[in-house]
Amino acid sequence: MLILTCPYCGVKGEETEFHSGGEAHLKRFGPGSSDADFEQYLFMRENPKGVHLERWRHANGCGKWFHAARCTVTLEVFGTYSAQTTEPPQHIRDAISARRPGWTWREFS
Amino acid sequence: MSTRLSSGGRLVNRGKAVEFTFNGRRLKGYEGDTLASALLAGGQMMVGRSFKYHRPRGLVASGAEEPNALVNLGEGGRFEPNQRATTTELFDGLTCTSQNHWPSLEFDIGAINNKLARVLPAGFYYKTFMAPRAAWKYLFEPIVRHSAGLGRAPKDRDADRYEHFYAFVDVVVIGGGIAGLQAAKAAGAGGAKVLLMEQTPHWGGRAPVDGGEVGGMAAGDHVTTLVNDLKAMPNVTMRTRMMGAGVYDHGYVLGYERVRDHAPDTPGPRHRLWRIRAGRIVTATGAIERPLSFAGNDVPGVMLASAMRDYLVDYGVSPGDRTVVVTNNDDAYRTAIALKHAGLEVPVVLDARAAGGGALAEEARGLGIRVATGKGIAKVKGGKRVTGVSICLQEGEGAALEEIKCDAVAMSGGWSPVVHLWSHCGGKLIWDDMQAHFRPDADRPPLGADGAGFVIAAGAGNGAMDLRAILADATGAGTAAAQETGHAGGETPVPEVAAQPEAAMMPVWLMPQGAGPDLRMKAWLDYQNDVKVSDVMLAAQEGYESVEHTKRYTTLGMATDQGKLSNINGLATLASQLNAPIPSVGTTTFRPPYTPISMGAIAGEARAEVFQPLRRTPIHDWHEAQGAHFEPVGQWRRPYCFPRGGESHAEAVRREIDQTRGSLGILDASTLGKIIVTGPDAPKFMDMLYTNMMSSLKPGKCRYGLMCNENGFLMDDGVVARLDEETFLVHTTTGGAEHIHGHMEEWLQTEWWDWKVYTANVTEQFVQIGVVGPNARKLLDKLGGMDVSKEAMAFMEWKDGTLGGFDARVFRISFSGELSFEIAVAASVGRAFWDTLLEAGEEFGITPYGTEALHVMRAEKGFIMIGDETDGTVIPQDLGLGWAISKKKEDYLGKRAQTRPHMADPERWKLVGLETLDGSVIPDGAYAVAGGHNANGQRSTQGRVTSTYHSPTLGRGIAMALVHRGPDRMGEVIEIAKLDGSTVSAKIVSPVFYDPEGEKQNV
């Protein structure tokens, strides 16, 4: 039962208020894309032991999607941030670096 | 024989007798007894039979760790199996029976297994799998099934009430022993909001029994002082009879409060499940004494030394007249001393340590008790009761030096901290060589959302084994918990404790250390699951090196007590057999709950009518009043049909269809999802959502559309109406409204967040009523207010207006193939409008119809139903819906996926109609069989039935099916398997069975 803070409404809520939405920062590939790109987009996922960037929705709350930076081993939450971004913002990267120096996740670090 | 002493027993009220029955025998106890202490007082040492060998078993422990004394408690709606007698408080009228024997506890046929022990070794169950298949089926399975399971499953509905309770506190302290009380005091003094819970009805834990001196007074008196101090603190909540059941992520704790198990006739819930969120959790869970592994350590009368002391001091119960004490540590001398003080005989204390014990041993000697050092028990004599022991050298192989008659044995193999709650959420353990136990590693606690540890172990639960260390540790834990939750108030001093020096304990994992196979076969590790030292050794010999594998192979620690008593003994046995140090073998995983909690508590109030919310349309009451037969659709209840008089459901459905197709039907379609999609970018967004072109839809028009997910699979369908240039009204399936709205929001918020689109789920704002049949237009004309003529309102158009004085939006759409209007009015006037329609339609024989008539009529027309024709693996192309897929659009959700080779494969199963040659109805979900068999020996298939009904209109069975290359095989006859193994022949036809030209609806 995680505790997450919704960056939109500011509510610090129980996990039951939220729905997990899988990996964050997927780049959509549509018609005309190569099989490799489409496979990557539709099926291939990170499965990290450590820092992970995820999508969550405040389903039983304000209804907004957001992103969370989290450690899959210790369940530490480094921060939550807007879903309207294609990459983790600097303050989130800094918060992760402060706790997990040298972290990398996909092309981010 | 165990009996009640004439005096003593600090927890019982001798002034109030309580009657109960055990196996039908009437017994008497006192108020304050546990069922276990009352049974012992009544001379009932033997309380059950063991799981596998049906050996007679007696009480071993006095608390939650008890493995043997499981009883069937109560009767009827209050019957519950596997209740521990040691944690069951006695009440007047309690009834219980012992388990796992036939025909009786005293004489049990199953005890033959005991004689067969040599052929029922570790992994017996798994080994039976390796025998020939027939042996498993006819020989082993019946035996295993017959003997499986402890107790009986309840058959009646639970007569009691349960509830959930939510709490948010700074600090939870689990365990109300002297450490928990002290930690709660320190945390409370710091200013934190504290919840302190204790699983038993009493505060103080072992301290009042074990003695010692704190702040110049007896430990028991100090407990009273602490409790009074805490009661005076407004920021501290104290609950007894409440167990910390589990610790979960980020400071979530489950508390299991047994509100009135001890007083079943008082009002209120039986159990209350506390769902607690805490900043810090202090686990002051104490320690559990370990048994020693010697032959016959399971004979009734052999008990933990600490348990024997509890029965004596707390309940005034003597376990026997002559008790031999056997130990590897000083603590057991307390039992010898207590027995002697109570006037009972202790013929000898066998101390496995060659050097013997410390001050406590001296005190025992001073009382005239014989102490033999370097000695142990070779074998316990007796079957249903201890009759004596033979003594041997601990360092030998078990040659009897002496035999001593006795009727009880008190054993102590050292103490294991209760680390369960610390470990539930990932707290790590370290091995303590001095005490030979695992204890919490303070450097590796479970971590919270902020990355800091959120559990702090305290007292004996943290490996502090003497009173002085316990109180110092608990004070530190409580203070730290307050500080870490932002409360740095008053300091709590550590009380002065008189020193109680003890000699070091010595690990003893087998007694005697060189015990041969015959002795090892009778030395029990796991009492409840009947696992012996020899079983773990065999597992190691057979290659089971991982402790988790050994656990499952031998079933060590897998019973309802989860190995609380002797898992460490098992691990140590495995380690010695593998020649590995104990810490490298490690422990098995500790999982919640700490002890089993009731299913009722887990369910709480969520049962029967309030199991889940029920959604009702504004017309629901009318349906109910008509005696509608309901079916669940999502959280809605929709009328399946409206039987009249003595009609069967099938007859009602037939009448509803006949009347609708013949004259006029009416349907409550309010549950259909209604979502508004509006904004400058709404047309663009609608084009992405639907496979069709929606941006080209003109205001005033409707279009049937298909929605796919990004995998290309069909997820929902429905009619879209364009309200204005920027606004669409999306109709979804009944079950789809919420998740389709979520699907829209997901894409808008996470992919196209720069698009100006707003969505709103308005499903419950409108009542929508289908007016269906050849007389539909006549009815609306009669109401008046709108021109719904063919010229004014063509098929697939909608208009706002008034009907019979009601503001209404009328859609001319059809899901039945008839002339049909769907009329939406505000939910608040929905019922009035429904009544108006019924009244005005009387002259046309207006007939309300339910979902089954709707299904049959749509199947007659070959319309698909999401969830029937689709199952998450079906694409629109499979269903002949290629016409609803835009070729012009560059993109829509699912388009790329539908170009994958297997999606475009002509070999896919595709939608067709089926007509049985004999006119019968094909069973639901039946498969079309092909020649030959697959790798599993099952008949090969070439399709499956997705919808199947009796069509009253056609007077025969009709079906829709997905069939291999179906549309290319029109007219072919295929075989459909029936439940009895036979087949029915069916011809492949068009799925549109009725009015293929659409003449009925275009009028």
User: Distance (Å, rounded) from C-alpha B65 to C-alpha B560?
Assistant: 10
- What is the nearest CA distance from B694 to chain A, expressed in angstroms? 19
Q: Distance, in angstroms, between A104 CA and closest chain B CA?
A: 19
Domain segments of chain A as ranges: 3-99
Is B289's pLDDT higher than 80? yes
What's CA B178's distance to the chain center, in Å? Answer: 33
Here the tokens at position B826 are 């505000």
Residue with tokens 């429904």: B834
Closest CA to B196 of B425, B403, B477, B399: B477
- Closest C-alpha to A17, from A73, A52, A64: A64
Asked if residue B110 has pLDDT above 80, the reply is no
- Confidence (pLDDT) at B491: 86
> Would the CB atoms of B745 and A55 count as touching at under 8 Å?
no
Is there a contact between B548 and B270 (Cβ–Cβ < 8 Å)?
no
Q: What's the CATH fold of domain B162-287+417-484?
A: FAD/NAD(P)-binding domain (3.50.50)
Tokens 């090196």, residue located: B545
Are A61 and A9 in contact, with CB atoms under 8 Å apart?
Answer: yes
Q: Verify whether the Cβ–Cβ distance B896 to A63 is below 8 Å.
A: no
Give B-chain residues touching A37 at CB under 8 angstroms: none
3-class secondary-structure state, position B332: helix
- Residues of chain A contacting B248 with CB distance shorter than 8 Å: 1
Contacts of B896 in chain A (CB under 8 A): 29-33, 38
Check residue B609 and give its pLDDT.
85
Tell me how far apart the alpha carbons of residues B597 and B78 are, in angstroms, rounded to a whole number.
Answer: 15
Specify whether the backbone of A78 is left (phi greater than 0), alpha (psi in -120 to 50) or beta.
alpha
Residue keyed to tokens 């769902």: B275
Please give the pLDDT value at position B51: 79
Give residues 48 to 77 of A whose Cβ lies within 8 Å of B: 55, 57, 59, 63-65, 71, 74-77
H-only helix segments in B397-447: 420-424
Q: How far apart (Å, rounded) are the C-alpha atoms in residues B838 and B264?
A: 54
Q: Which residues of chain A does B711 touch, with a Cβ-Cβ cutoff of 8 Å?
A: 42
- Tell me the Ramachandran region of residue B610: left when phi exceeds 0, alpha when psi lies from -120 to 50, beta otherwise: alpha
Which sign does the torsion angle of CA B66, B69, B70, B74 carry? negative
3-state secondary structure of B993: coil
Residue-wise pLDDT tens digits, B765-791? 999 999 999 999 999 999 999 999 999
Q: Which CATH architecture has domain B3-113?
A: Roll (3.10)
The DSSP H or E segment spanning B706 is: strand B702-708
Identify any residues that bridge with A14 across adjacent strands, giving them in sequence order. Answer: A3
Q: Domain B676-764 is of which CATH architecture?
A: 2-Layer Sandwich (3.30)
Q: What is the pTM of this model?
A: 0.91
**pLDDT for residue B896:** 97
- pLDDT at B119 (0 to 100): 63
Query: Which one of B750, B751, B754 makes the best mutation probe of the A interface by having the most chain A beta carbons within 10 Å?
Result: B750
Q: With an 8 Å Cβ cutoff, are B897 and A42 in contact? A: yes
Which residue, among B796, B834, B853, B755, has the nearest Cα to B1001 in the 3D structure?
B796
Res. B393 pLDDT band, cuts 50 70 90:
very high
Among chain B residues, the shortest Cα distance to A100 is held by B451
Interface A–B counts its CB contacts (< 8 A) at 68
* DSSP SS3 for B824: strand
Q: Kindly report the CA angle at B700 between B671 and B822, in degrees rounded to 5?
A: 30
Alpha helices in B641-784 (DSSP H): 649-662, 682-689, 737-750, 776-783
Q: Considering Cα of B475, then B481, then B483, then B484, what sign does the dihedral take?
A: positive
Query: Is a pLDDT exceeding 90 seen at residue B103?
Result: no
Indicate if the pLDDT at residue B111 is higher than 80.
Answer: no
Q: Determine whether the interchain pair A3/B447 forms a contact, defined as Cβ–Cβ distance below 8 Å.
A: no
Helix count and strand count (H, E) for chain A? 2, 6
Q: How large a percentage of chain B has pLDDT more than 70?
A: 97
Chain B nearest C-alpha distance from A79 (Å) = 10
| B587 confidence band (pLDDT: 50, 70, 90) | confident
**Residues 6 or more apart from A30 whose CB is under 8 A from it?**
B891, B895, B896
CB contact at 8 A, B34 and B15 = no
CA distance B129 to B127: 5
> Which of the residues A35, A58, A75 would you substitute to probe the B interface, choosing the one with the greatest number of B C-beta atoms within 10 Å?
A75
Looking at residue B99, its pLDDT comes to 83
Residue to mutate among B755, B896, B899, B900, with most A CBs inside 10 A, is B896
Does the CB of A83 have a partner CB in chain B at under 8 Å?
yes
Instruction: Give the mean pLDDT of B131-137.
Output: 70
- Is the confidence at residue B136, as pLDDT, over 90? no
Q: Which fold has domain B292-413?
A: FAD/NAD(P)-binding domain (3.50.50)
Residue whose entry in the numeric block shows the structure tokens 């789920």: B761
pLDDT tens column, B74-95? 999 999 999 999 999 999 999 9
- Average pLDDT for B957-972: 97
> ipTM, 2 decimals?
0.97
- Which of B865, B831, B874 has the alpha carbon at shortest distance from B963? B874
pLDDT tens digits for B701-731?
999 999 999 999 999 999 999 999 999 999 9
Residue B113 is encoded by which pair of tokens?
């297994």
pLDDT of residue B195: 98
Tell me if residue B402 falls in helix, strand or coil: strand
Domain B517-579 architecture: Orthogonal Bundle (1.10)
CB contact under 8 A, B449 and A14: no
User: Whole-angstrom Cα distance, residue B162 to residue B148?
Assistant: 30
Q: Testing the interface with B: which of A42, A44, A73 to mutate, by most B Cβ within 10 A?
A: A42
Rg over CA atoms, chain B: 37
- Nearest of B609, B668, B585, B622 to residue B853 by alpha carbon: B668
Do B550 and B556 meet the contact criterion of CB atoms below 8 Å apart?
Answer: yes
| CATH dotted code for B620-671+765-857 | 3.30.1360.120
Q: Kindly determine whether residue B749 and residue A29, on different chains, have CB atoms separated by under 8 Å.
A: no
Q: What is the mean pLDDT of residues B956-984?
A: 95
Interface test with B, best of A15, A16, A28 (most B CBs within 10 A): A28
Q: Is B292-413 the same fold as B162-287+417-484? A: yes
In whole angstroms, give the CA distance from residue B541 to residue B867.
54
Interchain CB contact of A84 with B (< 8 Å): yes
Residues B194-220, mean pLDDT to the nearest whole number = 96
Compute the distance between CA of residue B335 and CA of residue B844 in angstroms, rounded to an integer. Answer: 92
Residues from chain B that touch A28, judged by Cβ atoms under 8 A, are: 751
Architecture of domain A3-99: 2-Layer Sandwich (3.30)
CATH no. of B899-1003: 2.40.30.110
Give the whole-angstrom CA distance, residue B116 versus residue B781.
88
**pLDDT at B891 (0 to 100):** 97
The CA distance from B450 to the nearest CA of chain A, in Å, is: 6
pLDDT tens, residue by residue, B971-990: 999 999 998 989 999 999 99
Residue B100, pLDDT > 80, answer no
The predicted structure's pLDDT at residue B107: 72
Quickly count: other Cβ atoms within 10 Å of residue B512's Cβ.
Answer: 24
Tell the residue number behind the tokens 């302290």, with chain if given: B173
3-class state of residue A52 by DSSP: strand
Interface contact B249-A14, CB threshold 8 A: no
What DSSP letter does each residue of B180-218 carry, written as one string? HHHHHHHHHHTT--EEEE-SSSSSBTTHHHH--EETTEE
Who contacts B152 (Cβ-Cβ below 8 Å, separation ≥6)? B72, B81, B99
User: How does B331-365 read in b/e, with b if 16+ C-beta sit within 10 Å?
Assistant: bbbbbbbbbbeeebebebbbbbbeebbbebbebbb
User: In Å, what is the CA distance from B535 to each residue of B435, B551, B570?
Assistant: 26, 11, 10
Would you say residue B142 has pLDDT above 80?
Answer: no
Instruction: Encode pLDDT of B781-819 as tens digits.
Output: 999 999 999 999 999 999 999 999 999 999 999 999 999
- Measure CB to CB from residue B250 to each of A3, A33, A59 and give the nearest one: A3
Helix, strand and coil content of chain B, in percent to the nearest 5, comes to 25, 30, 45
pLDDT tens, residue by residue, B605-656: 999 888 888 999 999 999 999 999 999 998 999 999 999 999 999 999 999 9
When pLDDT is cut at 50, 70 and 90, the band that residue B952 belongs to is very high
Residue B559 tokens read as 């019973």
Of A32, A42, A99, the CB nearest to B451: A99
Q: Answer yes or no: are the C-beta atoms of B409 and B301 closer than 8 Å.
A: yes
Computed over every residue of chain B, the mean pLDDT equals 94
Name the phi and psi angles at B600, rounded to 5: -60, -40
Task: Give the helix/strand (H/E) hosting B834.
Answer: helix B830-840
Per-residue pLDDT band at B118 (split at 50, 70, 90): low
Which amino acid is it at B85? Answer: A
Segments of B773-817 assigned E as strands = 798-803, 806-811
CA distance A67 to chain B (A): 10
B217 is written with which tokens? 């007074």
Tell me how close the Cα of A83 comes to any Cα of chain B, in angstroms. Answer: 6
Judge contact between B43 and B1, C-beta under 8 A: yes
Q: Which of B742, B751, B896 sits opposite A31 (nearest CB)?
A: B896
CB-facing half-sphere around the CA of B577: CA atoms within 13 A:
24
d(CA B51, CA B57) in angstroms, rounded, equals: 10
CB proximity list for B543: less than 8 A, separation 6 or greater: none
Q: Specify burial of residue B162 (Cβ count, 10 A radius: 0-12, 13-18, 19+).
A: buried
Listed by start position, the domains of chain B span 3-113, 162-287+417-484, 292-413, 517-579, 620-671+765-857, 676-764, 899-1003
Asked if pLDDT for residue B129 goes beyond 90, the answer is no
**Distance of alpha carbon B906 from alpha carbon B896, whole angstroms:** 18
Contacts of A32 in chain B (CB under 8 A): 896
Chain B positions in Cβ-Cβ contact with residue A99 (cut-off 8 Å): 451
